[in-house]
Copies of this chain bind each other. A is one copy, B any other.
Amino acid sequence: MQILESAPALRETVHAWRAEGHRIAFVPTMGNLHRGHLALVERARQLADRVVVSIFVNPTQFVAGEDLESYPCTLAKDTELLTQRRVDVLFSPTVAEVYPFGLAEDQARVEVPALDGMLCGAFRPGHFRGVATVVTKLFNLVQPQFAVFGEKDYQQLLLIKRLVCELCFPITIISVPTVREPDGLAASSRNGYLSDAERRQAPKLHVVLEKAANAALRDPKDLAVIEGEGMRELACCGFRPEYFSFRRSHDLASPRHGDKHLVLLTAAWLGRTRLIDHALCENP
Protein backbone atom coordinates (compact mmCIF):
# COMPACT_ATOMS: atom_id res chain seq x y z
CA MET A 1 0.00 0.00 0.00
CA GLN A 2 1.26 3.45 -0.93
CA ILE A 3 0.87 6.13 1.71
CA LEU A 4 0.49 9.54 0.05
CA GLU A 5 0.31 12.85 1.83
CA SER A 6 0.43 15.34 -1.01
CA ALA A 7 -2.29 16.16 -3.49
CA PRO A 8 0.10 16.19 -6.48
CA ALA A 9 1.38 12.72 -5.59
CA LEU A 10 -2.18 11.42 -5.33
CA ARG A 11 -3.13 13.06 -8.63
CA GLU A 12 -0.18 11.47 -10.37
CA THR A 13 -1.11 8.00 -9.12
CA VAL A 14 -4.78 8.43 -9.97
CA HIS A 15 -3.96 9.83 -13.39
CA ALA A 16 -1.78 6.82 -14.21
CA TRP A 17 -4.51 4.44 -13.07
CA ARG A 18 -7.13 6.19 -15.17
CA ALA A 19 -4.88 6.15 -18.21
CA GLU A 20 -4.62 2.38 -17.80
CA GLY A 21 -8.40 2.05 -17.60
CA HIS A 22 -8.56 1.10 -13.92
CA ARG A 23 -11.67 1.82 -11.93
CA ILE A 24 -11.28 3.47 -8.54
CA ALA A 25 -13.38 3.05 -5.40
CA PHE A 26 -12.90 5.57 -2.61
CA VAL A 27 -13.58 5.36 1.12
CA PRO A 28 -13.22 8.69 2.96
CA THR A 29 -12.63 8.33 6.71
CA MET A 30 -11.36 10.28 9.70
CA GLY A 31 -9.22 7.33 10.79
CA ASN A 32 -9.45 5.40 14.06
CA LEU A 33 -10.73 2.58 11.92
CA HIS A 34 -13.18 0.04 13.30
CA ARG A 35 -15.19 -2.83 11.81
CA GLY A 36 -17.64 -0.36 10.28
CA HIS A 37 -14.90 1.26 8.22
CA LEU A 38 -13.48 -2.10 7.25
CA ALA A 39 -16.88 -3.15 5.87
CA LEU A 40 -16.71 -0.07 3.63
CA VAL A 41 -13.21 -1.01 2.49
CA GLU A 42 -14.30 -4.56 1.72
CA ARG A 43 -17.20 -3.25 -0.33
CA ALA A 44 -14.84 -0.92 -2.19
CA ARG A 45 -12.52 -3.83 -2.90
CA GLN A 46 -15.43 -5.64 -4.61
CA LEU A 47 -16.39 -2.61 -6.69
CA ALA A 48 -13.15 -1.60 -8.34
CA ASP A 49 -9.63 -2.73 -9.06
CA ARG A 50 -8.07 0.22 -7.25
CA VAL A 51 -9.07 1.30 -3.73
CA VAL A 52 -8.17 4.61 -2.13
CA VAL A 53 -8.90 5.24 1.56
CA SER A 54 -8.42 8.73 2.97
CA ILE A 55 -7.74 9.48 6.60
CA PHE A 56 -8.33 13.15 7.27
CA VAL A 57 -9.74 14.64 10.45
CA ASN A 58 -11.53 17.51 8.74
CA PRO A 59 -11.51 20.56 11.02
CA THR A 60 -14.38 22.36 9.26
CA GLN A 61 -16.94 19.71 10.15
CA PHE A 62 -16.31 20.09 13.88
CA VAL A 63 -18.40 22.76 15.53
CA ALA A 64 -16.83 25.03 18.16
CA GLY A 65 -16.53 23.15 21.44
CA GLU A 66 -16.56 19.70 19.83
CA ASP A 67 -13.89 17.02 20.04
CA LEU A 68 -11.60 18.10 17.17
CA GLU A 69 -8.51 18.30 19.38
CA SER A 70 -9.13 14.98 21.12
CA TYR A 71 -10.39 13.03 18.11
CA PRO A 72 -8.56 9.70 18.31
CA CYS A 73 -5.62 9.29 15.91
CA THR A 74 -4.35 5.72 15.44
CA LEU A 75 -2.47 5.97 12.16
CA ALA A 76 -0.07 3.07 12.71
CA LYS A 77 -2.85 0.63 13.52
CA ASP A 78 -5.05 2.02 10.72
CA THR A 79 -2.21 1.56 8.24
CA GLU A 80 -1.81 -2.07 9.26
CA LEU A 81 -5.55 -2.75 8.91
CA LEU A 82 -5.69 -1.16 5.45
CA THR A 83 -2.58 -2.99 4.27
CA GLN A 84 -4.15 -6.31 5.30
CA ARG A 85 -7.21 -5.44 3.23
CA ARG A 86 -5.15 -4.77 0.09
CA VAL A 87 -5.93 -1.08 -0.11
CA ASP A 88 -3.85 0.50 -2.90
CA VAL A 89 -3.43 4.00 -1.54
CA LEU A 90 -3.87 5.54 1.87
CA PHE A 91 -4.23 9.29 1.37
CA SER A 92 -3.55 11.15 4.62
CA PRO A 93 -3.09 14.82 3.73
CA THR A 94 -2.24 17.68 6.04
CA VAL A 95 -4.79 20.40 6.71
CA ALA A 96 -2.75 22.79 4.53
CA GLU A 97 -3.00 20.36 1.62
CA VAL A 98 -6.80 20.26 1.77
CA TYR A 99 -7.28 23.92 2.77
CA PRO A 100 -4.54 25.73 0.81
CA PHE A 101 -5.87 29.13 1.90
CA GLY A 102 -6.16 28.17 5.56
CA LEU A 103 -9.23 27.81 7.74
CA ALA A 104 -10.49 31.40 7.93
CA GLU A 105 -14.18 32.05 7.37
CA ASP A 106 -13.69 33.06 3.73
CA GLN A 107 -12.80 29.61 2.43
CA ALA A 108 -14.70 28.20 -0.55
CA ARG A 109 -17.61 26.11 0.64
CA VAL A 110 -20.28 23.76 -0.57
CA GLU A 111 -23.73 23.61 0.93
CA VAL A 112 -26.70 21.28 0.51
CA PRO A 113 -29.44 23.33 2.17
CA ALA A 114 -32.17 20.77 1.46
CA LEU A 115 -30.63 18.42 4.01
CA ASP A 116 -28.06 20.29 6.07
CA GLY A 117 -30.13 22.29 8.55
CA MET A 118 -32.30 19.60 10.15
CA LEU A 119 -31.65 16.84 12.73
CA CYS A 120 -27.87 16.67 13.33
CA GLY A 121 -27.48 19.84 11.25
CA ALA A 122 -29.70 21.77 13.67
CA PHE A 123 -27.60 20.69 16.65
CA ARG A 124 -24.24 20.98 14.87
CA PRO A 125 -24.59 24.18 12.81
CA GLY A 126 -22.06 24.22 9.99
CA HIS A 127 -21.20 20.53 10.38
CA PHE A 128 -22.67 19.41 7.06
CA ARG A 129 -21.21 22.40 5.23
CA GLY A 130 -17.82 21.14 6.39
CA VAL A 131 -18.69 17.62 5.26
CA ALA A 132 -19.98 18.69 1.83
CA THR A 133 -16.94 20.91 1.29
CA VAL A 134 -14.31 18.34 2.21
CA VAL A 135 -16.06 15.56 0.31
CA THR A 136 -16.12 17.78 -2.79
CA LYS A 137 -12.37 18.39 -2.44
CA LEU A 138 -11.62 14.71 -1.85
CA PHE A 139 -13.80 13.63 -4.78
CA ASN A 140 -11.89 16.01 -7.03
CA LEU A 141 -8.56 14.74 -5.76
CA VAL A 142 -9.32 11.02 -5.94
CA GLN A 143 -11.66 11.13 -8.99
CA PRO A 144 -13.23 7.78 -8.14
CA GLN A 145 -15.96 5.96 -10.06
CA PHE A 146 -17.41 4.79 -6.72
CA ALA A 147 -17.41 6.26 -3.24
CA VAL A 148 -18.51 4.14 -0.30
CA PHE A 149 -20.28 5.53 2.77
CA GLY A 150 -21.84 3.90 5.81
CA GLU A 151 -25.57 3.92 6.49
CA LYS A 152 -24.63 4.59 10.12
CA ASP A 153 -24.36 8.29 9.29
CA TYR A 154 -27.73 8.24 7.59
CA GLN A 155 -28.24 11.98 7.15
CA GLN A 156 -24.69 12.34 5.84
CA LEU A 157 -25.29 9.52 3.35
CA LEU A 158 -28.43 11.17 1.94
CA LEU A 159 -26.68 14.53 1.85
CA ILE A 160 -23.73 13.12 -0.10
CA LYS A 161 -26.08 11.39 -2.54
CA ARG A 162 -27.89 14.65 -3.11
CA LEU A 163 -24.61 16.56 -3.41
CA VAL A 164 -23.45 14.16 -6.11
CA CYS A 165 -26.74 14.41 -7.97
CA GLU A 166 -27.05 18.21 -7.73
CA LEU A 167 -23.44 19.02 -8.52
CA CYS A 168 -23.32 16.35 -11.26
CA PHE A 169 -20.31 14.44 -9.94
CA PRO A 170 -19.52 11.46 -12.19
CA ILE A 171 -19.47 9.21 -9.14
CA THR A 172 -21.77 6.43 -7.90
CA ILE A 173 -22.39 6.48 -4.15
CA ILE A 174 -22.54 3.02 -2.59
CA SER A 175 -23.83 2.54 0.94
CA VAL A 176 -23.05 -0.21 3.40
CA PRO A 177 -25.34 -1.23 6.30
CA THR A 178 -24.42 -0.24 9.84
CA VAL A 179 -22.03 -2.65 11.51
CA ARG A 180 -23.05 -3.40 15.10
CA GLU A 181 -21.32 -4.82 18.12
CA PRO A 182 -22.78 -8.15 19.40
CA ASP A 183 -24.94 -6.21 21.88
CA GLY A 184 -26.40 -4.02 19.11
CA LEU A 185 -24.41 -0.82 19.58
CA ALA A 186 -23.54 0.73 16.21
CA ALA A 187 -19.78 0.70 15.57
CA SER A 188 -18.38 4.24 15.91
CA SER A 189 -15.05 5.84 16.67
CA ARG A 190 -16.74 7.82 19.42
CA ASN A 191 -17.71 4.62 21.27
CA GLY A 192 -14.14 4.69 22.53
CA TYR A 193 -15.01 7.75 24.62
CA LEU A 194 -17.53 5.78 26.71
CA SER A 195 -16.73 4.71 30.28
CA ASP A 196 -17.32 1.06 31.13
CA ALA A 197 -20.67 1.88 32.71
CA GLU A 198 -21.69 4.02 29.73
CA ARG A 199 -20.60 1.31 27.32
CA ARG A 200 -22.93 -1.15 29.08
CA GLN A 201 -25.78 1.35 28.82
CA ALA A 202 -25.13 2.46 25.21
CA PRO A 203 -26.90 -0.45 23.37
CA LYS A 204 -30.16 0.81 24.87
CA LEU A 205 -30.16 3.46 22.10
CA HIS A 206 -30.60 0.74 19.50
CA VAL A 207 -33.16 -1.09 21.66
CA VAL A 208 -35.34 2.01 22.10
CA LEU A 209 -35.11 2.80 18.37
CA GLU A 210 -36.17 -0.69 17.33
CA LYS A 211 -39.03 -0.75 19.80
CA ALA A 212 -40.32 2.61 18.56
CA ALA A 213 -39.89 1.63 14.90
CA ASN A 214 -41.92 -1.55 15.56
CA ALA A 215 -44.61 0.45 17.33
CA ALA A 216 -44.85 2.72 14.27
CA LEU A 217 -45.17 -0.29 12.00
CA ARG A 218 -48.08 -1.58 14.09
CA ASP A 219 -49.82 1.79 14.34
CA PRO A 220 -48.42 4.50 12.08
CA LYS A 221 -51.06 7.08 13.00
CA ASP A 222 -49.47 8.69 16.01
CA LEU A 223 -45.81 9.05 15.22
CA ALA A 224 -45.52 12.14 17.41
CA VAL A 225 -46.67 10.12 20.43
CA ILE A 226 -44.11 7.40 19.71
CA GLU A 227 -41.40 10.06 19.31
CA GLY A 228 -42.32 11.58 22.68
CA GLU A 229 -42.23 8.18 24.37
CA GLY A 230 -38.83 7.46 22.83
CA MET A 231 -37.39 10.74 24.09
CA ARG A 232 -38.69 9.98 27.60
CA GLU A 233 -37.44 6.43 27.55
CA LEU A 234 -33.95 7.54 26.50
CA ALA A 235 -33.91 10.13 29.27
CA CYS A 236 -34.95 7.43 31.77
CA CYS A 237 -31.98 5.30 30.64
CA GLY A 238 -29.53 8.14 31.34
CA PHE A 239 -29.28 9.61 27.82
CA ARG A 240 -29.74 13.26 26.97
CA PRO A 241 -31.49 12.91 23.60
CA GLU A 242 -31.26 15.75 21.06
CA TYR A 243 -33.90 14.38 18.72
CA PHE A 244 -35.86 11.19 18.13
CA SER A 245 -37.66 11.73 14.89
CA PHE A 246 -39.49 9.84 12.17
CA ARG A 247 -38.69 11.06 8.66
CA ARG A 248 -39.26 9.91 5.13
CA SER A 249 -36.33 7.65 4.38
CA HIS A 250 -35.48 9.10 0.96
CA ASP A 251 -35.43 12.83 1.75
CA LEU A 252 -35.76 13.22 5.55
CA ALA A 253 -38.93 15.28 5.15
CA SER A 254 -41.59 14.95 7.84
CA PRO A 255 -43.81 11.97 7.07
CA ARG A 256 -47.15 12.60 5.45
CA HIS A 257 -50.19 10.37 5.81
CA GLY A 258 -49.62 7.15 3.93
CA ASP A 259 -45.83 7.45 3.56
CA LYS A 260 -44.58 3.88 3.70
CA HIS A 261 -40.81 4.30 3.73
CA LEU A 262 -39.74 5.89 6.99
CA VAL A 263 -36.62 6.10 9.04
CA LEU A 264 -36.42 6.86 12.74
CA LEU A 265 -33.32 8.83 13.62
CA THR A 266 -31.84 9.82 16.93
CA ALA A 267 -28.87 11.60 18.46
CA ALA A 268 -28.31 11.34 22.19
CA TRP A 269 -25.58 12.18 24.65
CA LEU A 270 -24.34 9.61 27.10
CA GLY A 271 -22.11 11.47 29.51
CA ARG A 272 -19.69 13.41 27.33
CA THR A 273 -20.23 11.23 24.26
CA ARG A 274 -22.68 12.01 21.48
CA LEU A 275 -24.10 8.90 19.81
CA ILE A 276 -26.27 8.68 16.70
CA ASP A 277 -28.25 5.78 15.32
CA HIS A 278 -31.35 5.08 13.27
CA ALA A 279 -33.83 2.33 12.41
CA LEU A 280 -35.50 1.85 9.06
CA CYS A 281 -39.24 1.52 9.32
CA GLU A 282 -40.61 0.18 6.08
CA ASN A 283 -44.33 -0.46 5.89
CA PRO A 284 -45.10 -3.41 3.64
* Copies of this chain in its oligomeric complex: 2
Residues in B neighbouring A197, C-beta threshold 8 A: none
Nearest B-chain residue to A143, judged by Cβ: B170
Asked if A108 and B19 make an inter-chain contact with CB atoms under 8 angstroms apart, the answer reads: no
- 1/0 per residue, CB under 8 A from B, across A19-55: the answer is 1010000000000000000000000000000000000
- 1/0 per residue, CB under 8 A from B, across A119-135: the answer is 00000000000001100
Residues in B neighbouring A163, C-beta threshold 8 A: 108
Residue from B98, B111, B143 in contact with A109 in the complex, judged by beta carbons closer than 8 Å: B111
**Cα distance A99–B15 in the bound complex, in angstroms:** 30
Of all A-B residue pairs in the complex, the 10 with the closest CB atoms, nearest first, are A108-B166, A140-B168, A106-B113, A106-B114, A137-B168, A108-B112, A141-B168, A140-B169, A110-B110, A109-B111
**A21-B19, A162-B108, A163-B108 known; A7-B168 Cβ under 8 A:** yes
Residue from B11, B110, B113, B168 in contact with A170 in the complex, judged by beta carbons closer than 8 Å: B11
A200 in contact (CB, < 8 A): no
Asked if B106 and A137 make an inter-chain contact with CB atoms under 8 angstroms apart, the answer reads: no
Query: How many residues of chain A have a CB within 8 Å of chain B?
Result: 36
Asked if A167 and B114 make an inter-chain contact with CB atoms under 8 angstroms apart, the answer reads: no
Asked if A136 and B106 make an inter-chain contact with CB atoms under 8 angstroms apart, the answer reads: no
- 1/0 per residue, CB under 8 A from B, across A164-204: the answer is 01111110000000000000000000000000000000000
**Cα distance A108–B112 in the bound complex, in angstroms:** 4
A107 in contact (CB, < 8 A): yes
Nearest B-chain residue to A101, judged by Cβ: B166
**A106-B114, A113-B105, A114-B106 known; A100-B166 Cβ under 8 A:** yes
A18 in contact (CB, < 8 A): yes
Extra inter-chain contacts (5) besides given A108-B113, A137-B167, CB under 8 Å: A99-B166, A101-B166, A108-B166, A136-B136, A136-B167
